[in-house]
Amino acid sequence: MSWRADILTLFPDMFPGPLGFSLAGRALERGIWSCEAHNLRQHGLGRHRAVDDTPFGGGAGMVMRADVLGTALSALPALDGRPVVYPTPRGKRMSHEDAERLSSGPGVVVLCGRFEGVDERVLEKHDIEQLCMGDVVLSGGEIPALTLLDACVRLLPGVMGSDVSGQDESFAEGLLEYPQYTKPAVWDGRDVPDILLSGNHGAIARWRHEQSIAVTKARRPDLWDAYLARQQVH
């Protein structure tokens, strides 16, 4: 059975979008995963298919209605153990571990919010997992949904060209990835580090690990602290 993604959105034409190309697109064609977007307007109210209303307590903007979203969720095919995820700045920051966890299951349902967000009651009733893609606010949940799906799909068996392709990537071991180089060996007066041309694979592995440490310390001290804490536990 393929890994299944159902997306609840006001803009179903945005899917699969960029995921219809490259590795994810070829995996989609091969049936490794499937993607179906469901238009929330189908469950909207009244002549204009309204999906939102003004917030109780006042304030700017509109809030997506719990009754509309609840109906949309109930109309989905059987979840079969798939979690429902709501991308939101209020959520836990998504990690590589989250992508591994979600990709190892049967799939995911993604609820794409708009406006000021969604009624809290629908999140509570359906035990919806809230994940944040970064400390920024976007116009809606569609772009974060594409990010989430891409992070998961590329980890599915048979998607990447090699089973070890993801082992040295950023976050895989808790560190950022080391710098990468390719031909030409000299470009614009800049040389590839000699160690990478040495053929000494042990030395290359040590250099790459040292570079990962240096980059992580400089750019993501939060990741470095977490990495050190894990090393002390083990």
| 140 is annotated as contributing to ligand binding | no
d(CA 39, CA 72): 9
Beta partners for residue 50, in sequence order: 45
Can you tell me the distance from the alpha carbon of 6 to that of 78, in angstroms, rounded to the nearest whole number?
11
Structure token pair of residue 17: 């979008």
The string of DSSP codes covering 161-176 is SSTTTTTTSTTTTSSP
Sequence-separated (6 or more) residues with CB below 8 Å from residue 160: 23, 154, 166
| Contact in structure between 80 and 125 (CB atoms under 8 Å) | no
Give the alpha-carbon dihedral of 148, 151, 157, 159, to 10 degrees. 110
* Helix runs in 79-200, H state only: 96-103, 120-125, 142-153
- Of 196, 223, 221, 106, which is closest to residue 156 (Cα–Cα)? 106
Binding residue positions: 113
Binding residue positions for S-adenosyl-L-methionine: 113
